[in-house]
């Protein structure tokens, strides 16, 4: 069977220890990405099995219609809305999901919070150009001494979404002496109260009282565009908004508009509506926004975990013992 691994931007997959599990099989790794139905269908026309790296490639009905050989899609991490599972089921294409860990995205979230609050990217960039102790954040619209930065101790950390990642980030906040507040579904708020955290009484209060707001919510039709410009405009001019979950949780262009208005004063984002982003992206041009290239899960331990599970799904399917199939009905479809 022909196995295709897509979107390995860093050419990392072949160097993983778990990659040896595919040695007996024919596997092609693509280190660049293509967009558009035509290019993808050409790249995948001979694929029996596709290995996806998270949601870097979207598999929709129009694409699977053009891939008559495709039998299995195996996902690194959890299956999400980027795969049209019903369309795959109709065509007898099995979809397997893997495992995930909250540790790497939680650690990146905290790294972004610390870097942003102490203005590290700006200080480092200016030091390379000969400017000593200059962050460059001194626009007239900014609060006094905004560019100096501030400590976390005594500040209020807001967590929207108190799941596995949100809980770890909350624990980091408490360890740094922050007051932690939670917003989200009723179950999340109840769990936060049980864990001894504060819960905001209203959504507006949550955004208004927090010095840092960090979002940890799964993208669904219900949560898409859930954070609005009005929400962001409630934040303090000294506050930081952090999104390492999904860009589509925020309504289009709302964060750009909010940052230009100065509420919140800063943002740190690891996710974008269309990835990879172009060099001229509006957020990249804002001095009060820190951007990273969706690396929340991109580190060696996570890759070994994610790809190890995905490759096990491949091997098991080829051997006739498919595992972790989210649409078992596909296995009953005659091809």
Question: Do 114 and 56 lie in a common domain?
Answer: no
Q: Is 214 left (phi over 0), alpha (psi -120 to 50) or beta?
A: beta
What pLDDT score does 247 carry? 98
Same domain, 122 and 177: yes
Asked if residue 193 and residue 220 are part of one domain, the reply reads yes
Quick one: pLDDT at residue 138?
83
Is residue 153 a contact partner of residue 180, using CB atoms and an 8 Å limit? no
265 in the same domain as 171: yes
Q: What is the pLDDT of residue 153?
A: 99
DSSP class of residue 108?
A: H
- Quote the number of domains for the chain: 2
304 shares a domain with 238: no
Instruction: Please check whether residues 131 and 184 belong to one and the same domain.
Output: yes
pLDDT in 10s for each residue of the chain, 335 residues: 999 999 999 999 999 999 999 999 999 999 999 989 999 999 999 999 999 999 999 999 999 999 999 999 999 999 988 999 999 999 999 999 999 999 999 999 999 999 999 999 999 999 999 999 999 888 777 899 999 999 999 999 999 999 999 999 999 999 999 999 999 999 999 999 999 999 999 999 999 999 999 999 999 999 999 999 999 999 999 999 999 999 999 999 999 999 999 999 999 999 999 999 989 999 999 999 999 999 999 999 999 999 999 999 999 999 999 999 999 999 999 87
Dump strand ranges (E) for 112-227.
Answer: 156-160, 179-183, 198-199, 212-215
Per the residue annotation, which of 43, 119, 181, 246 is the catalytic one? 246
Question: Do 271 and 182 belong together in one domain?
Answer: yes
Tell me which of 275, 287, 299, 304 is the catalytic residue: 275
Task: For residues 90 and 135, state if they share a domain.
Answer: no
110 with 96, same domain: the answer is no
For residue 118, indicate whether it is catalytic.
no
Question: Which residue is catalytic, options 43, 181, 216, 294?
Answer: 294
Structural domain including 213 reads: 103-291
Residues 217 and 234 both lie in one domain: yes
Q: Is 137 helix (H, G, I), strand (E, B) or coil?
A: coil
Pair (191, 284) in one structural domain: yes
Give me the sheet containing 240-243, strands edge to edge: 198-199, 179-183, 156-160, 212-215, 240-243, 266-269, 289-291
pTM: 0.93
Tell me if 47 sits within 8 A of 67, measured CB to CB.
yes
Model pLDDT, residue 139:
77
CATH at residue 29: 3.40.50.720
Active site includes 246?
Answer: yes
- The pLDDT value recorded for residue 75 is 96
| Residue 285 sits in the same domain as residue 306 | no
Q: Are 222 and 195 in contact (CB under 8 A)?
A: no
Does the annotation count 275 as an active-site position? yes
């Amino acid at each position: 069977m022909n196995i295709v691994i897509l979107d390995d931007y860093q050419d990392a997959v072949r160097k993983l220890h778990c990659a040896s599990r595919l040695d007996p099989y024919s596997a092609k790794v693509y280190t660049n990405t293509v967009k558009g139905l035509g290019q993808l269908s050409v790249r995948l026309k001979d694929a029996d099995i596709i290995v996806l790296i998270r949601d870097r490639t979207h598999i929709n009905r129009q694409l699977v219609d053009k891939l008559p050989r495709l039998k299995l899609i195996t996902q690194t991490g959890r299956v999400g809305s980027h795969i049209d599972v019903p369309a795959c089921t109709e065509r007898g294409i099995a979809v397997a999901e893997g495992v995930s860990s909250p540790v790497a995205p939680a650690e990146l979230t905290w790294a972004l919070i610390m870097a942003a609050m102490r203005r590290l990217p700006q200080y480092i960039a200016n030091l390379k150009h000969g400017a000593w102790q200059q962050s460059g954040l001194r626009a007239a619209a900014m609060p006094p001494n905004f560019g100096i930065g501030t400590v976390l101790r005594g500040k209020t950390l807001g967590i929207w979404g108190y799941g596995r990642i949100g809980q770890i980030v909350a624990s980091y906040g408490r360890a740094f002496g922050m007051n932690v507040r939670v917003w989200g579904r009723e179950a999340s708020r109840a769990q936060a109260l049980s864990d001894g955290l504060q819960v905001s009484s209203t959504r507006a209060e949550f955004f208004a009282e927090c010095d840092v707001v960090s979002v940890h919510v799964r993208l669904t039709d219900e949560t898409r565009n859930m954070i609005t410009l009005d929400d962001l405009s409630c934040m303090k001019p000294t506050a930081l908004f952090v999104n390492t979950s999904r860009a589509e949780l925020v309504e289009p262009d709302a964060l750009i508009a909010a940052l230009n208005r100065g509420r919140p004063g800063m943002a740190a984002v690891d996710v974008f509506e269309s990835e990879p982003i172009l060099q001229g992206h509006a957020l990249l041009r804002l001095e009060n926004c820190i951007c990273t290239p969706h690396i929340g899960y991109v580190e060696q331990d996570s890759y070994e975990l994610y790809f190890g599970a995905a490759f096990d799904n491949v091997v098991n399917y080829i051997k006739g013992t498919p595992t972790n199939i989210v649409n078992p009905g596909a296995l009953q479809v005659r091809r």
